[in-house]
Amino acid sequence: MRTQQVSRRYARALFELEQEGAKNRAALEKLAAVAAVGDVQDVLGNPNYAASLKASVLEKAAGSLPAEMKRLVSLLCERGKAELLPEIDALFEQMMRQAESEVEAEVVSAVKLSEAQKKNLAKVLGDISGRSVRLSVSEDKSILGGLVVRIGDRLIDYSVRSRLEALKRAMAA
C-alpha cells in the first residue's frame, strides 16, 4: 500500500478526533517537525531499534503530548510507520484548511509585496474564490512585473513577461 494512502488514514482519524473536540493540531505539528529531522529519521527508519525506543525519542523531543498523540506515536512506532508523521501532518493540515474553508494561494511577484498589499490581495482572492485565502508569496524578477497567482487548480497570470510573450506571438502571426 502506498505511503500516502496509509498517511491519509491516520490523518483522517486525527481530523475526525479534531472535529469531535480533541486539540491535537499543535502536538501533531511538533511531532512532524521532530520526525523530519535527519538524525531522528535515521532512528525511526532503522529496524534494529525497538518501537518503544523510537516512541520515547519522539515523545521526549516533542515535549508534553496529549494522551491520543502518545497512543498514535506508540501505534506508528509498533507498525514501523513513524517516519510518516510529516506526511500525516501535511494531509491533516490540508483537511483542516478545507474544513475551515481556507484555500492556499501561491503568489509570485517581481518585487517584494508590503503587508498591506498582501492583505488586500488575500481579500480580493477571497472574494473571487468565496473562501478565506492563505497566501504563500515569493519573488521572481524574471516575470518583470505584475503577479502570477495559483489558487487551487487555477492559474492567474498577470505578469508583464506573459503579456510581452503574447504580444510577440500576435505580431509574429
- Cell, residue 63: 515535549
Query: What's the CA angle centered on 135, arms 33 and 98, to 5 degrees?
Result: 70
CA angle in degrees (0–180, nearest 5) for 22-23-25: 125
pLDDT of 46 higher than 90: no
pLDDT score of 34 = 87
DSSP assigned state of 133: E
* All structural domains of the chain with their residue ranges: 3-97, 102-172
Compute the average pLDDT of residues 137-152. 91
Helix (H) or strand (E) holding 134: strand 132-139
Let me know: does 62 contact 32? Beta carbons within 8 Å. no
pTM over 0.85: no
pLDDT, averaged across the chain: 88
Residues 121, 135 contacting (CB under 8 angstroms): yes
Picking from 22-26, 45-49, 128-132, which range would have the lowest pLDDT averaged per residue? 128-132
- Give me the percent of the chain exceeding a pLDDT of 90: 39
Under the banding of pLDDT at 50, 70 and 90, the label for residue 128 is confident
C-alpha cell at 102: 481556507
State the average pLDDT over residues 45-72. Answer: 87
The three cell numbers of residue 153 are 487548480
Q: Is 80 exceeded by the pLDDT of residue 60? A: yes
Q: Taking 80 as the threshold, does the pLDDT of residue 17 lie above it?
A: yes
**What local confidence, expressed as pLDDT, does residue 161 receive?**
92
Give the residue-averaged pLDDT of 23-31: 88
pLDDT band at 91 (very low <50, low <70, confident <90, very high): very high
pLDDT band at 1; cut points 50, 70, 90: low
For residues 150 and 166, give the distance between their C-alpha atoms in angstroms, rounded to a whole number.
20
Residue 89 confidence (pLDDT) above 90: yes
Q: Decide which of 1.20.950.20, 1.10.520.20, 3.30.565.10, 1.10.1740.10 is the CATH code for 3-97.
A: 1.10.520.20
- Angstrom CA distances, 86 to 59, 96, 125, 126, stand at 15, 15, 29, 28
